[in-house]
Amino acid sequence: MTSADKANRRKVLPYQIVLVVVGASIGGIIAVLGELREELGFSETEVGILVAAGFLASFVAQVGFSRFSDRGYGREMATIGTIISAVALFMMVVADSILVWSLSRAAVGFAGGLIVPGVRRAVTVLDPDRVGENLGRLVVGEVLGFVLGPAIAAGFVAVSGIRAPFLVFAIGTALFIPFVMRLPADSGSKDADAGKTSLDLLRNRRLQGALILVFGYFMLIGAFESVLPIMFKDRGGGAVFTGIAFTAFAIPMALVSPRAGRFADRVGAAKVATTGIAVVGLSAMSYGFLPGLILLTIVMGLAGIADGYGFTASQVAVSRAVPEHRQAGALGLMGASEVLGAGLAAIPAAALYGRFGAEVVWPIIGGSTLLVVLIGHLRLRGTEPVGTGGTDLAWTPIDRHPEPRP
């Protein structure tokens, strides 16, 4: 590893740590949904509403506020988001109704929507030639949090009951506030147009296609969060096994994400994202037909490799669709597409599972993802990225093509 590589990793590290903490809180919530249903008597549909509340609140935050990160306020937004998250997690310690739980989960989602666009922007502007690699390293932080959260939650549930994890996460998040307040300011050019919103970027056809891919992928994530914990519980696995299964899914993502980012930079993010997400959609269609828990967990782990490529490359495709001073706006729209896709899928997926079972919900969700990926593919064809990082959707090395248009 060169000194430049080491320096680049050090620059990305603070932002990785932020996403570890954000991801751990959300992952911990997911891990206990099965126990939450059992202890508080929530229905499958109510669990879906709880999950959707977090996604949709994050959508509002990312659409409404991500542009302020392009104007230089990313650190301030991350600080406010961390404070809101700590308060919401403390609310979960005492919440006993679906309304309070949904409001608390919405607050955690809104907080994440304030934090994530600025963090992603700061990483994309570190080095224009390493956008994919740096976003891949950021995915490692997200996934590590996603792995640690369920493991921590499962351990405290087993020892002290369902309320304990939220108290631990709340205290940990509160103690993390001073770190966030000292994050390095991003080094990229800022957007000087104070009246501009992110929505004007939706006229960009390449960005449209990339956002559609993200939307399709996160339909699966919404179903994962609202169905898999309940499905594991129904098959005899509690919070501990749910944590193990999500860890088996997440670790391959973390291992391949930096390599996936470099690969997307080299051959083109759009084609890597399209292929990776399509593979994940196809694998999800089998989940309802895999017996027991072990085989399902193994298949999830194998699919995690494709997830690492698809998720990382879709972020690179979004970043490469706009100039530097609009990065947070585009990445905020990406986050909004993530949570909108997940939020819209979470409730019907949970309801389908409650009414018809796993054999029905997973082919529908996986097939819907494949259809959305096809639409995104059609929007991307014939477009070019901003700067370097691959071109169109043909599997051809980038140096065989003319320089992309600015």
Kindly list the structural domains of the chain, giving each domain's residue range(s) and its CATH number in brackets, ordered by start. 9-182+200-398 (1.20.1250.20)
The Cα–Cα gap between 401 and 393 comes to 12
**What's the count of helices (H) and strands (E) in the chain, helices before strands?**
14, 0
Closest CA to 175 of 81, 82, 91, 93: 82
Most confident of 232-246, 272-286, 335-349: 272-286
pLDDT band at 248 (very low <50, low <70, confident <90, very high): confident
Tell me the pTM.
Answer: 0.76
pLDDT band at 239 (very low <50, low <70, confident <90, very high): low
The token duo for 112 is: 């994440």
**Would the pLDDT of 7 be above 90?**
no
Tell me the average pLDDT across 332-356. Answer: 87
CA distances from 165 to 154, 227, 336, 404 (A): 8, 21, 27, 49
Is residue 10 packed enough to be buried (19+ CB in 10 Å), middle (13-18) or exposed (0-12)? exposed
**Would the pLDDT of 273 be above 90?**
yes
Closest CA to 78 of 70, 87, 69: 69
Among 32-36, 61-65, 282-286, 366-370, the minimum mean pLDDT is found in 32-36
CA distances from 293 to 151, 168, 238, 284, 314 (A): 17, 29, 11, 15, 30
- Mean per-residue pLDDT over the chain, rounded: 83
Among 53-67, 205-219, 259-273, 378-392, the minimum mean pLDDT is found in 378-392
In this prediction, residue 90 carries a pLDDT of 93
**Would the pLDDT of 101 be above 50?**
yes
In this prediction, residue 387 carries a pLDDT of 61
Q: Please report the sign of the dihedral spanned by the C-alpha atoms of residue 132, residue 136, residue 142, residue 143.
A: positive
**Would the pLDDT of 391 be above 60?**
no
In this prediction, residue 196 carries a pLDDT of 64
| Better pLDDT: 221 or 401 | 221
The Cα–Cα gap between 17 and 404 comes to 34
Among 38-42, 78-82, 101-105, the minimum mean pLDDT is found in 38-42
